Homo-oligomer: A and B are copies of this chain.
Amino acid sequence: MAAVADEDSLRRALAQKQSSIDVQGGAVRQLKSSGAAKLDIEAAVQALNALKLEKASIESQLQAALTGAAGGGSSSASRDAFRQAVVNTLERRLFYIPSFKIYRGVAGLYDYGPPGCSVKSNVLSFWRQHFVLEENMLEVDCPCVTPEVVLKASGHVEKFTDLMVKDEKTGTCYRADHLLKDFCKEKLEKDFSLSAEKAAELKHILAVLDDLSAEQLGAKIKEYGITAPDTKNPLSDPYPFNLMFQTSIGPSGVSPGYMRPETAQGIFVNFRDLYYYNGNKLPFAAAQIGQAFRNEISPRQGLLRVREFTLAEIEHFVDPQDKSHPKFSDVAKLEFLMFPRDDQVSGQCAKKLQLGEAVSRGTVNNETLGYFIGRVYLFLTRLGIDKDRLRFRQHLANEMAHYAADCWDAEIESSYGWIECVGIADRSAYDLRAHSEKSSVALVAQEKFSEPREVEKLVITPIKKELGLAFKGNQKMVTEALEAMEEKVAMEMKADLESKGEVEFHVCTLRKNVTIKKNMVSISKEIKKEHQRVFTPSVIEPSFGIGRIIYCLYEHSFYTRPSKAGDEQLNVFSFPPLVAPIKCTVFPLVQNQKYEEVAKLISKSLTAAGISHKIDITGTSIGKRYARTDELGVPFAITVDSTSSVTVRERDSKDQVRVDVEKVASVVREVTDGLSSWADVLKMYPLHSSETAED
């Protein structure tokens, strides 16, 4: 918060200085026009120049304050340069490819090229292992094409929109909030003449941007005179654009459908079957990995905001009265960066908390939600996400849907700032209720009591004869309104009827009050025996944006180091073996038939051990071949320099050990499977001098 206070006082100082300059400038003009003495004029001009110098000094202080506040230390220029280095390497080595490139591409669509595809497949395998298998989840796989009725029930047809404005002359579309955001940021960063009050106003807009209505956004765009960025043409008023790709199912053209915007709905609509499959027991979780689609208005942020992406979602169904988790103790001791709602509001930073304490203090709403936060932390850090650049941020009250009990995002810091990569939400019973209502199929669970329980139940009995006499044709609506009374209202009516004999009662379907008399209704509480409890389960939903996680992983894994000759910087991805696209390369040191045969033999045994690898028998220097594979993040390289034993090199330390040809596949398997570490290997096998080999 220090930087913001500075900024505020600097803007005020700047405004004061500007008004002093204006006054002094006026004085100089006055002296000149009145033909004052040369010496007086010179003195006044000197004073003016001194003021201008002071203003320039304040401006550069403000500039520094702004940069510091935005970049958390590193400047925006250096972050852009870092990102460019990562993205260049990724694109050159085909980790990803802009889709349909030979046709000049489509914004927001990317292909995973060969190494990217391997990384993705490794991340998804580990996800399945870590969540589906270890937690015995029920995995399902539903189509992307979804009929309208499902997405009407979920609310997507009505509400899955962004506000859009159009260039009134060219028809080009923009996201209204992006234009307003860009305007405010640009003003704040570059306009030093901004008053402290105006600056505060723009900052307030940035803070509440997501909450602005179409009218409010439109009003601000008009007020600030914002125009189309490319043409400076005037803009239309903002209006909602639905982000789902629409299509039509079947040939008749009368069955609208959409490409699903998330995979979760496929699970909700199957709740009844899955609950049965699980032996009618709660809790249980269902999971799904699949493509989702969002027809973004104007995609930006490269691989982070795309029109088609892979989601991995879990829907964990629990009894709303018991959100404890039997395995919570497995994660309770974990400590990591958390950013609770209150700390955000009071302007503090994320800080390390122990998960168990966060749950027991109520910072995290319940154990199950806490358990998944812990599991997500373990998942991300095992992939190679830097734990110091990972935080769990709680949603502010205005960010959460009205039905949500609590919601935390796993945010990963990248060159674009903190990016939401996993959302972990307790959505209460909202989704199941919505589909129950629309489909008329009960999506509920039962708790059978071992002994029947006595429950006090409200019983409202309208006396039809009296009601009929009193209300004739309106009898049905009055009766229904009486039966629909909530407990509190009914008990008040009972008391009033007993004390006064009659009471005014509003029947909303009639849009008027009627008079209810004592003989028209009987209200009582009765004790009933119940054998089971029927309820709509709550759902806790961890939802993973796989592409975003992978992109952040690329940034966290990337570093450069000088070549041996020191004449260039070499790129390295320090992927852990778990995610590395290829686990190992095999190089004959020189082109030589004997070495090639050994290399092929080793390749065969690596294939048998299930280790993805590549042989490189080109005559390129060994140093260059190492550099090439470092850039793909390959953790180990086997170099064949004899027919009996070979060297194994570890990517980051560049250490090499000598291993027998027969043993090398199993050694590599041990370290890539995580059964032993490189340190263990170093203890077991003789170190090989790398001086000659590396270049």
Q: Is the CB of A101 within 8 A of B273?
A: yes
Q: Spot the interface stretch: A6-14, A244-252, A356-364.
A: A244-252
A266 in complex: contacting residue of B111, B173, B272, B296, CB < 8 Å: B111
Contact with B along A109-129 (1 / 0, CB 8 A): 111111011101100000011
> Of residues 73 to 106 in A, which have CB atoms within 8 Å of B's CB atoms?
94, 97, 99-103, 106
Q: Is the CB of B141 within 8 A of A117?
A: yes
> Of residues 400 to 439 in A, which have CB atoms within 8 Å of B's CB atoms?
435, 438-439
Q: Tell me how far the C-beta of A442 lies from the nearest C-beta in chain B, rounded to whole angstroms.
A: 10
Q: Is the CB of B273 within 8 A of A113?
A: yes
Report the separation of the CA atoms of residues A156 and B106 in the bound assembly, to the nearest whole angstrom. Answer: 19
Q: Does A164 contact B (CB under 8 A)?
A: yes
Report the separation of the CA atoms of residues A410 and B635 in the bound assembly, to the nearest whole angstrom. Answer: 40
Q: Which residues of B contact A111 (CB under 8 A)?
A: 140-143, 266, 270
- The chain B residue with its CB closest to the CB of A244 is B247
Q: Is the CB of A143 within 8 A of B109?
A: yes
Q: Spot the interface stretch: A146-154, A178-186, A644-652.
A: A146-154
Q: Is the CB of B97 within 8 A of A145?
A: no
Report the separation of the CA atoms of residues A291 and B618 in the bound assembly, to the nearest whole angstrom. Answer: 37
A607 in complex: contacting residue of B133, B149, B435, B614, CB < 8 Å: B133
Q: Which residues of B contact A297 (CB under 8 A)?
A: 250-251
Q: Is the CB of B147 within 8 A of A100?
A: yes
- The chain B residue with its CB closest to the CB of A164 is B251
Report the separation of the CA atoms of residues A171 and B251 in the bound assembly, to the nearest whole angstrom. Answer: 10
Contact with B along A280-324 (1 / 0, CB 8 A): 000000000001010111100000000110000000000000000
Q: Which residues of B contact A249 (CB under 8 A)?
A: 106, 245, 295, 307
Report the separation of the CA atoms of residues A633 and B172 in the bound assembly, to the nearest whole angstrom. Answer: 56
Q: Does A107 contact B (CB under 8 A)?
A: yes
Report the separation of the CA atoms of residues A269 and B105 in the bound assembly, to the nearest whole angstrom. Answer: 11
Q: Is the CB of A252 within 8 A of B171?
A: yes
Q: Is the CB of A145 within 8 A of B307?
A: yes
Provided the pairs A247-B246, A250-B295, A251-B295 are in contact, do residues A308 and B101 lie with their beta carbons within 8 angstroms?
A: no
Q: Is the CB of B103 within 8 A of A150?
A: yes
Provided the pairs A142-B99, A144-B308, A273-B94 are in contact, do residues A121 and B114 lie with their beta carbons within 8 angstroms?
A: no
Q: Is the CB of B103 within 8 A of A149?
A: yes
A139 in complex: contacting residue of B117, B138, B142, B150, CB < 8 Å: B117
Work out how many copies of this chain go into the complex: 2
Q: Which residues of B contact A149 (CB under 8 A)?
A: 100, 103
Contact with B along A30-48 (1 / 0, CB 8 A): 0000000000000000000
- The chain B residue with its CB closest to the CB of A146 is B100
Q: How many residues of A contact B (CB 8 A)?
A: 79
Q: Is the CB of B241 within 8 A of A251?
A: yes
Report the separation of the CA atoms of residues A273 and B150 in the bound assembly, to the nearest whole angstrom. Answer: 40
A94 in complex: contacting residue of B113, B259, B277, B298, CB < 8 Å: B277
Q: Tell me how far the C-beta of A101 lies from the nearest C-beta in chain B, rounded to whole angstroms.
A: 7
Q: Which residues of B contact A225 (CB under 8 A)?
A: none
Q: Does A279 contact B (CB under 8 A)?
A: yes
> Of residues 597 to 622 in A, which have CB atoms within 8 Å of B's CB atoms?
607, 610, 612, 614, 618
Report the separation of the CA atoms of residues A247 and B293 in the bound assembly, to the nearest whole angstrom. Answer: 12
Q: Does A136 contact B (CB under 8 A)?
A: yes
Q: Does A3 contact B (CB under 8 A)?
A: no
Report the separation of the CA atoms of residues A164 and B252 in the bound assembly, to the nearest whole angstrom. Answer: 11
A173 in complex: contacting residue of B99, B113, B251, B274, CB < 8 Å: B251
Question: Could you write out 27 A-B pairs with CB less than 8 Å apart?
Answer: A94-B273, A94-B277, A97-B270, A97-B273, A101-B270, A101-B273, A102-B272, A102-B439, A103-B438, A106-B147, A106-B257, A111-B142, A111-B266, A111-B270, A112-B141, A114-B138, A114-B139, A136-B614, A143-B308, A144-B144, A245-B247, A246-B247, A246-B248, A250-B295, A250-B296, A251-B297, A279-B618
Excluding A99-B142, A113-B140, A114-B138, 6 further A-B contacts by CB distance (< 8 Å) are A102-B269, A103-B438, A112-B140, A114-B140, A134-B607, A279-B618
